[in-house]
Amino acid sequence: MNLLLYLIFGAIIIGILLYIFPICNPVVISISQLSICLAAIHLFITVRVQGILYLSIGNWPFGKGVSLYVDHLSSALILLTSCLFILLFIYEWEHISGQPLFMFLLFVLQGLLFALFVSHDLFNIFVLMEVSTMLVTILIVFLKNPTAYYDGLIYLLTNILGMSFFLLGIGYIYKLYGVFDLTLLKIAVAQGGSSPSMIMAYALLMTGISFKVGVLPVFIWLPRAHVSLGAPSVVSAAISGIYINVGFLFFMKLQDIFTPLVPTAPLFFYLGLLTSVAGSLLALAQNDIKRLLAYSTVSQLGFILIGLTLPHDAAYYGSIYHIFSHSVFKVLLFLISGILAEQYGTRNILQIKGVLRRMPLLGVCTIAGILGITGAPFFNGSIGKYMISKSTNSALFEWTLYLITFLTILYLSKFAMILFGNHPRKEISRTKNTALLILATLCIIGGLQAPVFMDILFGYSVHIDALSYSLKSILYILSVLIGFVLYRKKIQHSRILKAIREIDIPFNLVAFMLVFLFITILSASWFIAS
């Protein structure tokens, strides 16, 4: 059990030591990261063998103190986070020595993520979310670019606003049931039955969590945070690939508690669908390489939300698997975009050309990432998509999912244009290549060995039907061809996309949309519960 505390506080204390003493060098960092990763593996195995772990810090009675709770999913998320952080540090290898402050912030972010994954009472979740919001804001403005302060302020204020809704929801819960702990809350909600106050509490909590997830009207903060000019690409990768998982974890936990009384799955299904389509269209419109990737995150998380709301085990686990795949390929693509922006001196996707010729290895990794995210056969993205689409028999639903995949292919055709063209050869550092190669390999292994990973990570045995999987593969190849041609012929110079690109939403409108989302959730759950 002390291992869990080591994971959380160890990371933070090592970060502080790195900042205070002049020991910030690659060897120290890699040793400490390896120890954290070993602890994560040990915790993962312990949870597999012994089942769910529960720890109350300070020996308070159950439900009073800070309680930590580790189940299969959170231990798997901790393992993923620690592995990805090692890769991020390998990527940063050459720049480690000079930046103790940056290393300190990354270590603290890692510790906070671990703490968020295992915390199991509402107030603790609120505090950790607020602290991580502040930390991420500091990371967004880290390079002190004047325009980045705007992104930082928008990110900070919108997230504080969302979390205020969450805190008021906690107040309602405490007034109604007198508990903070999620285990006790589940029992209390089941006993208490449905009441207007309970629906109000649910709507307030879900507004905060939906905001963190980034559903349709309120996702504007997300690309701002991910592509800020003031954030190093490691930060973009960490926020877009790893930090986003927190929202999903709490979304699942809260839905698990309230679904028996307020089954709002259809509402979030449609929100996820709209988010996914809107995210793809916005991604297609962008010319900035990081902005394109950030909107693709929006589209992918909409897709994950769709899977989480379907009443089927395969869809649920497919969705969780897609969370893991998404972390891997999004970290990969963001790291690549960082190198590209550095090498070409621009983030405009139309000016970056000939990546395959210039940096062959990086080009191959880019292809692996693109195939992963579009769900190509034998790549990790395809497994989640396959499992979600096979969970229902409705033809309409299948075609909707296919539309999302097709839009994904369209905007990644735009991304893939950077690969082609002529350019003199240039080498990039070996450590960066290593990190990218490992991530690209993970994309392929995650697809080829999906049943093994599924079994290890979630204890769920999946059967992939060869016939329907290969049918999907043929459909995929066809749609890649169509998408590529369609993009070259029609979309590339579209005026509508230019108009979409120019849209910039002021802060007041974000607040208005948040209230709109709150009213939507409140009225929908009222309607469903009565």
Partner 1 sequence: MVQIDLINGTNISLMLFFIGIYGIMARQNIVKSIISISIMQTGVILFFVDANPGDPLSEALMITAIVIGAAVTAFSLMLFIHLYHTFGTTNWFKLLQKRKEML
11 or 128, CB closer to partner 1?
128
Cα(308)–Cα(320) distance, rounded to whole angstroms? 8
Q: Cα–Cα distances in Å, from 103 out to 18, 30, 109?
A: 8, 12, 10
DSSP 504: -
Q: Cα–Cα distances in Å, from 355 out to 111, 332, 417?
A: 36, 15, 9
167 or 355, CB closer to partner 1?
167
The answer to whether residue 137 forms part of the interface with partner 1 (CB under 8 A) is yes
**Near partner 1 by CB under 8 A: residue from 149, 269, 469, 526:** 149
Minimum distance of partner 1 from residue 370's CB (angstroms):
27
**Near partner 1 by CB under 8 A: residue from 17, 168, 281, 403:** 168
The answer to whether residue 174 forms part of the interface with partner 1 (CB under 8 A) is yes
The answer to whether residue 161 forms part of the interface with partner 1 (CB under 8 A) is yes
The answer to whether residue 260 forms part of the interface with partner 1 (CB under 8 A) is no
Q: Cα–Cα distances in Å, from 271 out to 224, 346, 514?
A: 21, 35, 14
Q: How many CB atoms lie within 10 A of CB 47?
A: 20
Q: How many CB atoms lie within 10 A of CB 465?
A: 11
291 or 472, CB closer to partner 1?
291
Contact predicate 160/189, CB 8 Å: no
The secondary element (H helix, E strand) that includes residue 69 is: strand 67-70
Minimum distance of partner 1 from residue 136's CB (angstroms):
12
- Find the angle CA(454)-CA(460)-CA(464) to the nearest 5 degrees: 65
**Near partner 1 by CB under 8 A: residue from 25, 147, 351, 470:** 147
**Near partner 1 by CB under 8 A: residue from 70, 156, 292, 383:** 156
**Near partner 1 by CB under 8 A: residue from 23, 127, 184, 522:** 127
The answer to whether residue 171 forms part of the interface with partner 1 (CB under 8 A) is yes
499 or 515, CB closer to partner 1?
515
57 or 515, CB closer to partner 1?
515
Cα(7)–Cα(203) distance, rounded to whole angstroms? 33
Q: Return the range that interacts with partner 1 (CB under 8 A); candidates 2-10, 130-138, 451-459, 462-470.
A: 130-138
Cα(153)–Cα(205) distance, rounded to whole angstroms? 23
Minimum distance of partner 1 from residue 64's CB (angstroms):
7
Q: Return the range that interacts with partner 1 (CB under 8 A); candidates 160-168, 290-298, 333-341, 409-417.
A: 160-168
Q: Return the range that interacts with partner 1 (CB under 8 A); candidates 144-152, 249-257, 411-419, 451-459.
A: 144-152
For the chain, give the number of residues: 530
DSSP lists the bridge partners of residue 348 as 288
Q: Cα–Cα distances in Å, from 300 out to 19, 240, 361?
A: 36, 11, 26
**Near partner 1 by CB under 8 A: residue from 134, 350, 471, 499:** 134
What is the footprint of partner 1 within residues 62-101 (CB under 8 A)? 64
Structure tokens given for 21: 């003493």
- Find the angle CA(272)-CA(278)-CA(280) to the nearest 5 degrees: 100
DSSP alpha helix (H) spans, 310-394: 313-344, 355-358, 360-374, 380-390
127 or 274, CB closer to partner 1?
127
What is the footprint of partner 1 within residues 473-512 (CB under 8 A)? 504, 506-508, 511-512
133 or 408, CB closer to partner 1?
133
Q: Return the range that interacts with partner 1 (CB under 8 A); candidates 10-18, 49-57, 165-173, 417-425.
A: 165-173
Helix, strand or coil, per DSSP, at residue 33: helix
Nearest to 298 by CA among 219, 410, 411: 219
The answer to whether residue 191 forms part of the interface with partner 1 (CB under 8 A) is no
Give the distance from CA 347 to its chain's centroid: 22
Contact predicate 233/150, CB 8 Å: no
Minimum distance of partner 1 from residue 190's CB (angstroms):
21
23 or 522, CB closer to partner 1?
522
Q: Return the range that interacts with partner 1 (CB under 8 A); candidates 23-31, 50-58, 148-156, 478-486.
A: 148-156
Minimum distance of partner 1 from residue 265's CB (angstroms):
28
**Near partner 1 by CB under 8 A: residue from 175, 426, 488, 498:** 175
Cα(434)–Cα(159) distance, rounded to whole angstroms? 35
List CB contacts of 225: < 8 A, sequence separation 6 or more. 136, 140, 151, 155, 231, 239
Q: How many CB atoms lie within 10 A of CB 59?
A: 6
Nearest to 110 by CA among 226, 16, 177, 220: 16
The answer to whether residue 130 forms part of the interface with partner 1 (CB under 8 A) is yes
The answer to whether residue 141 forms part of the interface with partner 1 (CB under 8 A) is yes
The answer to whether residue 146 forms part of the interface with partner 1 (CB under 8 A) is yes
**Near partner 1 by CB under 8 A: residue from 152, 223, 279, 447:** 152
Nearest to 225 by CA among 155, 146, 298: 155
The answer to whether residue 116 forms part of the interface with partner 1 (CB under 8 A) is no
The answer to whether residue 153 forms part of the interface with partner 1 (CB under 8 A) is yes
The contact set with partner 1 (CB under 8 A) reads 64, 123, 126-127, 130-131, 134, 137, 141, 146-147, 149-150, 152-153, 156-157, 160-161, 164, 167-168, 171, 174-175, 178, 504, 506-508, 511-512, 515
